[in-house]
Amino acid sequence: MFEYKIPLSLYIHMPWCVQKCPYCDFNSHKMKKTPDYSAYIDHLINDLKQDIMLCNNRTIHSIFIGGGTPSLFSAELINNLLINISKIIPINHDAEITIEANPNSVDVERFKGYQQAGVNRISIGVQSFQADKLIKLGRVHNPQEAIDAGKLAHDLNLKSFNLDLMHGLPKQTLDDALNDLKQAIALAPPHLSWYQLTIEPNTLFGSKPPILPDDDMLWDIYQQGHQLLTRHGYEQYETSAYAKPNYQCQHNLNYWRFGDYIGIGCGAHGKLTQNDGTIIRTVKTKHPKGYLEGRYLEHSYTVAKDELAFEFFMNRFRLFEPTPKSEFEQRTFLPLQSIDKPISLAIEKNYLVEDNQSWQITDHGKLFLNSLLEIFL
């Protein structure tokens, strides 16, 4: 029976953007006219009410309001949303509550309003501090707006804030990449997401790929950038995330530790463990038109038992901390003996080391992560 209480998070998707970035394959939609934001909030609440029966009387451990561009929504609407959520499901008193924001859609009053509504962490989509790179990436803010947003988040004394940065950008040099990091570090964010630009299908860059730095340049950028961040007290705890000690993103940690999460809003995904140990995944209607007509659930399915080990490790090995063996049993409901063979093979190939309590991915395993995960397929 389901006795171990798996942490439960809530993801809320806001689907609209001022314009669609050419690299973005998230479920975001360029606004043709001002959407009915208030109606969307009402639908989010109704969506949550439909999912609540799958939550087994748990409380919310973290909330992440992502997009799209959630900072297009007023502080009053975010306040209304959070109040109504708390009427449906209890929110832990110390829950991390994050909202994503674009630098050009924030001001002092809006940020303060989010904070008063209960938001205690802001994630700012900077991507670069260089004007030519921002134009190439289709961003609608300029470098000064990015700096101002970072300073504002710092001065609010939030629980934490994050800056999103990209590297491996079109025509980016090593100095360009390091200068972006130096500017970010100067703003003293407790958390930095620093990830490589990848060309995804079904994006503008996918159909018209820009020329990106070669593999040698990418490796130099990563190595020297990593060293710079480490020197300034940031610890890499996940493939693309760095944080000062005790400032890791709790919401993302719950994802990677194979915790549970409700997903509400256009295209949101959920993962919910049931009393009998089965795991249900939910996928919400992608397009705002259908969602605003009250058709929230696109489909749901139960994760097959023979896929659970792969799904667990696909998430868990993004983190560089040890993986407790007890956590595997508690979150997949599988015995350790069921993975004896793949674990032995992973150790033999020097992808993993183990002790009595945990497994640890090796530096070699980090370089061959896909090969490691294939062992569990």
User: pLDDT at position 2, please?
Assistant: 47
Contact 250, 60 (CB under 8 A): no
DSSP, residue by residue, 26-46: SS-EE-SS---HHHHHHHHHH
pLDDT digits (tens, 9 = 90+) for 312-327: 999 999 999 999 999 9
Neighbour tally for 335: CB within 10 Å: 10
Q: How far apart are CA 78 and CA 73, in angstroms?
A: 7
Topology given in CATH for the domain delimited by 8-254:
TIM Barrel (3.20.20)
In the chain, what are the domain boundaries? 8-254, 322-377
Q: How far apart are CA 133 and CA 139, in angstroms?
A: 9
Contact 283, 298 (CB under 8 A): yes
Contact 300, 51 (CB under 8 A): no
Q: Percentage of the chain with pLDDT > 70?
A: 99
Residue 163 tokens, joined: 């800056």
User: pLDDT at position 1, please?
Assistant: 44
The answer, yes or no, to whether residue 168 has pLDDT greater than 90, is yes
Residue 134 tokens, joined: 């921002």
Residues 6+ apart with CB under 8 A from 99: 65, 70, 71, 78, 114, 119, 121, 122, 123
Contact 10, 64 (CB under 8 A): yes
Question: In the structure, what pLDDT confidence band is assigned to residue 296 with cuts at 50, 70 and 90?
Answer: very high
At 275, the amino acid letter reads N
User: pLDDT at position 19, please?
Assistant: 82
Q: How far apart are CA 291 and CA 294, in angstroms?
A: 5
pLDDT digits (tens, 9 = 90+) for 80-94: 999 999 999 999 999
Average pLDDT over residues 271-280: 94
pTM: 0.95
The answer, yes or no, to whether residue 24 has pLDDT greater than 80, is no
Distances (CA, A) of 84 to 8, 77, 80: 18, 11, 6
**DSSP annotation of 338:** G
- Phi first, then psi: what are they for 353, rounded to 5°? -125, 160
pLDDT digits (tens, 9 = 90+) for 37-82: 999 999 999 999 999 999 999 999 999 999 999 999 999 999 999 9
| Helices within the chain (DSSP H only) | 37-51, 75-88, 108-117, 131-136, 143-155, 174-186, 204-207, 215-231, 250-256, 288-291, 305-316, 325-332, 340-348, 363-367, 369-374
Beta bridge partners of 281: 271, 301
Mean pLDDT of the chain: 94
Distances (CA, A) of 203 to 32, 127, 223: 19, 17, 28
Dihedral (Cα; 124, 128, 129, 135), 10-degree rounding:
-110
Contact 194, 240 (CB under 8 A): yes
Contact 23, 79 (CB under 8 A): no
At 95, the amino acid letter reads A
Q: Percentage of the chain with pLDDT > 90?
A: 86
Nearest in space to 129 (alpha carbons), one of 162, 105, 103: 103
Contact 29, 16 (CB under 8 A): yes
Q: How far apart are CA 331 and CA 344, in angstroms?
A: 21
Average pLDDT over residues 143-157: 94
